[in-house]
Amino acid sequence: MRVAVFSDGFEERLDGFATQLIIGISILQKAFDKGFVPLILKINIMADESSKAYHPGEVENKWYSRWVEADCFRGDETGKGDAYSIVIPPPNVTGILHLGHVLNNTIQDILARRARMQGKDVLWLPGTDHAGIATQSKVEQKLRKEENKTRHDLGREAFLAKVWEWKEEHGGIIIEQLKRLGCSCDWSRERFTMDPEYSRWISKVFVDLYKEGLIYRGKRMVNWCPKSLTALSDEEVIMKPQKKSKLYFVRYRVAGEADRWIEIATTRPETLMGDTAVAVNPKDKRYADLIGKKVIRPFPEAEIPVIGDDSIDPEFGTGALKVTPAHDKTDFEIGLRHKLPFVDVFNPDGTLNELAGPEFVGMDRFKARDVAAEKLEAMGQLVRVEDYQNSVGYSERADVPIEPRISMQWFLKYPCTREAADAVANGDIVFRPEHHKKTFAKWMEGIQDWCISRQLWWGHQIPVWYRKDKAEELQNLENLSADFSGKDIYVGIDPPEDEANWVRDADVLDTWFSSWLWPFATMRTSEEESSTTLAKFYPTDDLVTGPDIIFFWVARMIMAGFRWQGGVPFKNVYFNGIIRDKQGRKMSKQLGNSPDPLDLIEKYGADALRFALLKSAPGGADLKYDEKQIEEGRNFATKIWNAARYREMQGNAPGNPGKPSIYAIDIVTKLEKLQEELEKSYTDYKFNEVAQMLHEFWWNNYCDWYLESAKGDFAPDGDAGARAATLATMDTVLERFLMLLHPYMPHITEELWDRFGFNRKHDSAFLMNTAIPQKALLEGLSQKQKETASEQVAAIYEAVGRARNLKASYGLGASKEVTFIIDPESGKFTENEVFAKLTGAREIKVEPGYEAKKGVPVAICAIGKVYLPLEGLIDVDVERERLSKELKRAVEELGKVTTKLGNEAFTSKAPQEVIQEMEERKAHWTARSDELSQMIDNLG
């Protein structure tokens, strides 16, 4: 006795397995009963039916590893096809996948997979970013917690070793998560911004720009983060409106005059100790005579001048400004103009120093604010305090108010700004949604020099060396008078030959200073080596990213592309929206409103998550997340699975296929049309439209209509030719549909592709690299034939809808067996079987010229009249009421259309088709209301 063996997927098909097993056991039992001893060589249960529910977990893992094993994601730089490339926006190396990543990377995966299925050589280049501040502070936090040490306790080298350790340990997480999502990145080319080759690029770029004079060192007012103890770029500062600010009105005594005071308004009394002047507008009559005189700074007591400066707004506050050149950007500029002394009363960490006076030393800046105010009050110099609303800049990473601070930093004057601005303005780079163009243009117009040095250790150390004896002096951030004339400085990619005599600049570069080279530095491993990858895949085709990093990253990449590769780094930029929670808040760790995508994948499947997110992600607009959407994705996967399973259950056809039915022609025509329309939506990057159309086709057109209409063909006593034709149609539809759906739901489509053996029909081993044919699915038919079939089918489906409606409105359930009588418009109607199947009727009688008895409900359709004899089961009063309602509505509609038509006829400018359509509608409603009146009469 021998039974065949089933292959993989055992667990998924437990249902089928169980039934088969029971049968198997009962056969064995019979054999034993009859006294035979069966020789069992191998038990093999043909589980040829899939289970009812689709279980994505194993299927997804299985296919992902098969793709990887077969090297399907590799970007072939020697391939003959057209190139298509994307570089991933590198996530933070220690980051964790969130829904924003899912949306962003799914879009890229869709683009990449679609390009592969167009026969292109595709490179989707992945990698991670070292994320200077974020990573360093994570490790510092850990250090403090576990060992109660700061990075300075360890020293630079040991600390960096710790960060690398951390990176090795946690760095792979997000990459693994992207794999679970199904991302088809070329992992063999994974890059990290601190790879040696990549780092070499950073140095080269720095040296280039230094030599060009675009990178310079200088003392400037910078955004200082007192928590991270580093300078930040303007982009890393977020302005936040303050609710509880106060405006302090303080009076300063005029020196040398008995009882004359000048009143100033300030929000920051704690900087008073750094005041080196009081400024007024020279045109302000109240104070004009004070210019040139001195006032007394209350503490530490000193005489400071009153100066006139046009930038003072006489309307604001009292019209007099205390000038603290070391602690405010505007004051800094006033200080420069009037050559005022710069008195910095703060330490780097935001506490006050000895210049603030002994009682303030070591005090936190916010505490000092209160203390200074109290002290002024005690001195009788605090006039009043008002509640006030203003905005304060916060450090993006550390979320503390930044401190404007003068310090010595490296700055970059951007290269190729004109080229970058033009490229976007003239469409060499296309932004989607387009309105981001304007934001970009505005930023480019007002572009400011970029502070690129950071007082961190984790990152690319600045490739600058100072002669040893001068190093301390030159390195001191506070040493504002340092000379950078050159002979004591060495700038180069490699260290100076006599390195022992030099000391390297301690600072590292802003992380974005490495990211802006990403599109090309990832493709070329060193600056000399010519790269076939670069030649084939650069510039890239699409960049998919969030609009929040348009300045941080996108703009800078464009400039870098022009500067080092002589052109645009990408042709299209698609800005995906931001995912928000139900209340419309941004997803954030603090709020805890960000679901873990891995949990969702576990629960619903990666395909479901991908599809659902894309289906409800409007082009570039923000998206409100609701888990219900993911359920919808899961349901869709189940629906596909079950409709495919239904086909599977029918087995193979013994005979030759007969001619395709009109329903078959119709569904295949719709599928061809779908393919065309998807093309259009893809061209416009309307990913939600694509998803909606795929969903609509499968669920509505294929499952609800075609599949239902075709069920009759599988009747046991049915026609073999029809059966074979229907099976063939289903295979055709399934095959092409899986191809179209694959970019969105790669795993389930690959699974079904395999189960149905479609890969045998194509050259490639996997659906994922099978090219989608452009040719029509129905070749032997003319356009006219297709149209005719579709029209017929549409008319039948319309009649079915009305017939169902008729049933339902008499309280007859969908499966209630009734008899419909059809009086066909054309005199004949042959689709009885399908009509009966779709309407759940027992019988369809075709009776040309049928004269209905009084009160028989009827639906007027394009195919003719459809009667539903009720055989006296219906309550007459209820029926009368229902009909009266209908009549009322019909009369209303008739009124509407008549009025409209009257207007049209009067003005007569509407196109002919519109008028005609209206006339048809008028005729319809006229007939309908006549009929309804008649029926009401009939009821008596």
Q: Taking CB under 7 A as the criterion, which residues in 265-294 touch RNA? A: 265-268
Subset of residues 434 to 453 that bind RNA, contact rule: CB under 7 A: 435, 438-439, 442-443, 446
- Could you write out the DSSP letters of every residue in 89-113? -PPBTT----HHHHHHHHHHHHHHH
- Interface residue with RNA among 312, 412, 664, 665 (CB under 7 A) is 312
**Among residues 56 and 539, whose Cβ is nearest to RNA?**
56
Distance of alpha carbon 407 from alpha carbon 231, whole angstroms: 9
In the complex, the smallest distance separating the C-beta of residue 98 from RNA, rounded to whole angstroms, is 17
- Coil/strand/helix, residue 602: helix
In the complex, the smallest distance separating the C-beta of residue 397 from RNA, rounded to whole angstroms, is 15
Distance of alpha carbon 884 from alpha carbon 890, whole angstroms: 10
Query: Which whole-number Å values give the CA distances from 912 to 862, 904, 916, 917, 924, in the listed order?
Result: 22, 10, 6, 9, 18
Subset of residues 113 to 142 that bind RNA, contact rule: CB under 7 A: none
**Among residues 70 and 291, whose Cβ is nearest to RNA?**
291
In the complex, the smallest distance separating the C-beta of residue 15 from RNA, rounded to whole angstroms, is 9
Subset of residues 33 to 92 that bind RNA, contact rule: CB under 7 A: 52-54
**Among residues 707 and 821, whose Cβ is nearest to RNA?**
707
- Interface residue with RNA among 72, 86, 181, 321 (CB under 7 A) is 321
Subset of residues 353 to 412 that bind RNA, contact rule: CB under 7 A: 388, 390-393
755 binds RNA (CB under 7 A): no
Query: Quick check: 824 and 848 in contact, CB under 8 A?
Result: yes
In the complex, the smallest distance separating the C-beta of residue 46 from RNA, rounded to whole angstroms, is 14
618 binds RNA (CB under 7 A): yes
Q: Rounded to 5 degrees, what are φ and ψ at 51?
A: -75, 160
In the complex, the smallest distance separating the C-beta of residue 642 from RNA, rounded to whole angstroms, is 3
243 binds RNA (CB under 7 A): no
- Could you write out the DSSP letters of every residue in 676-730? HHHHHHHHTT-HHHHHHHHHIIIIIIIIIIIIHHHGGGG-TTS-HHHHHHHHHHH
- Residue 278: exposed, middle, or buried by beta-carbon count in 10 A (0-12, 13-18, 19+)? buried
- Interface residue with RNA among 377, 632, 798, 825 (CB under 7 A) is 632
- Interface residue with RNA among 311, 476, 532, 934 (CB under 7 A) is 311
902 binds RNA (CB under 7 A): no
689 binds RNA (CB under 7 A): yes
Q: Which stretch binds RNA (CB under 7 A): 191-199, 213-221, 420-428, 633-641?
A: 633-641
**Among residues 43 and 247, whose Cβ is nearest to RNA?**
247
- Interface residue with RNA among 492, 496, 595, 619 (CB under 7 A) is 619
**Among residues 302 and 549, whose Cβ is nearest to RNA?**
549
In the complex, the smallest distance separating the C-beta of residue 365 from RNA, rounded to whole angstroms, is 14
Cα 41 to the center of its chain, rounded Å: 55
In the complex, the smallest distance separating the C-beta of residue 636 from RNA, rounded to whole angstroms, is 8
- Could you write out the DSSP letters of every residue in 163-218? HHHHHHHHTTHHHHHHHHHT----GGG-EETTSHHHHHHHHHHHHHHHHTT-EEEE
Query: Quick check: 605 and 628 in contact, CB under 8 A?
Result: no
In the complex, the smallest distance separating the C-beta of residue 768 from RNA, rounded to whole angstroms, is 24
Distance of alpha carbon 709 from alpha carbon 291, whole angstroms: 94
**Among residues 13 and 634, whose Cβ is nearest to RNA?**
634
Q: Which stretch binds RNA (CB under 7 A): 70-78, 188-196, 213-221, 577-585?
A: 577-585
Site string for RNA, 782-821 (x = CB under 7 A): -------------------x--xx-xxx-x-xxx------
642 binds RNA (CB under 7 A): yes
Distance of alpha carbon 899 from alpha carbon 925, whole angstroms: 13
Distance of alpha carbon 905 from alpha carbon 511, whole angstroms: 69
Which structure tokens are listed for 404?
Answer: 């404007």
Distance of alpha carbon 675 from alpha carbon 777, whole angstroms: 11
In the complex, the smallest distance separating the C-beta of residue 319 from RNA, rounded to whole angstroms, is 6
Longest CA–CA separation in the chain, Å: 129
- Interface residue with RNA among 329, 337, 845, 882 (CB under 7 A) is 329
**Among residues 159 and 744, whose Cβ is nearest to RNA?**
744
Which structure tokens are listed for 386?
Answer: 């008002």
Query: Which is nearest to 634 in space by CA: 34, 56, 10?
Result: 56
Q: Which stretch binds RNA (CB under 7 A): 166-174, 335-343, 454-462, 613-621?
A: 613-621
Subset of residues 543 to 572 that bind RNA, contact rule: CB under 7 A: 548, 551
Distance of alpha carbon 846 from alpha carbon 822, whole angstroms: 5
Distance of alpha carbon 412 from alpha carbon 246, whole angstroms: 37
Work out whether strand 261-266 and strand 245-254 pair parallel, antiparallel, or are unpaired: antiparallel
911 binds RNA (CB under 7 A): yes
Q: Which stretch binds RNA (CB under 7 A): 137-145, 287-295, 519-527, 906-914?
A: 906-914
In the complex, the smallest distance separating the C-beta of residue 165 from RNA, rounded to whole angstroms, is 35
417 binds RNA (CB under 7 A): no
914 binds RNA (CB under 7 A): yes
Distance of alpha carbon 488 from alpha carbon 471, whole angstroms: 8
Beta strand spans in 617-669 (E)? 623-624
Query: Quick check: 299 and 271 in contact, CB under 8 A?
Result: no
Helix H or strand E segment including 385: strand 382-388
Subset of residues 695 to 714 that bind RNA, contact rule: CB under 7 A: 696, 699-700, 703-704, 707-708, 711
Q: Which stretch binds RNA (CB under 7 A): 150-158, 222-230, 482-490, 643-651?
A: 643-651
- Interface residue with RNA among 2, 30, 582, 761 (CB under 7 A) is 582
CB-facing half-sphere around the CA of 752: CA atoms within 13 A: 29
**Among residues 328 and 823, whose Cβ is nearest to RNA?**
328
875 binds RNA (CB under 7 A): no
Distance of alpha carbon 201 from alpha carbon 195, whole angstroms: 10
**Among residues 119 and 308, whose Cβ is nearest to RNA?**
308
630 binds RNA (CB under 7 A): no
**Among residues 164 and 443, whose Cβ is nearest to RNA?**
443
310 binds RNA (CB under 7 A): no
Q: Total residues contacting RNA (rule CB under 7 A)? A: 94
**Among residues 11 and 917, whose Cβ is nearest to RNA?**
917
**Among residues 14 and 535, whose Cβ is nearest to RNA?**
14
Subset of residues 8 to 37 that bind RNA, contact rule: CB under 7 A: none
Helix, strand, coil percentages (3-state) for the chain, rounded to 5, are: 50, 15, 35
313 binds RNA (CB under 7 A): yes
716 binds RNA (CB under 7 A): no
Alpha helix ranges (H) inside 852-911: 876-907
**Among residues 86 and 694, whose Cβ is nearest to RNA?**
694
- Interface residue with RNA among 426, 530, 907, 912 (CB under 7 A) is 907
872 binds RNA (CB under 7 A): no
The DSSP bridge partners found for residue 586 are 580
Query: Quick check: 807 and 840 in contact, CB under 8 A?
Result: yes
In the complex, the smallest distance separating the C-beta of residue 269 from RNA, rounded to whole angstroms, is 10
- Interface residue with RNA among 616, 661, 675, 929 (CB under 7 A) is 616
901 binds RNA (CB under 7 A): no
873 binds RNA (CB under 7 A): no
Distance of alpha carbon 237 from alpha carbon 450, whole angstroms: 13
Helix H or strand E segment including 535: helix 532-537
Amino acid at 861: C
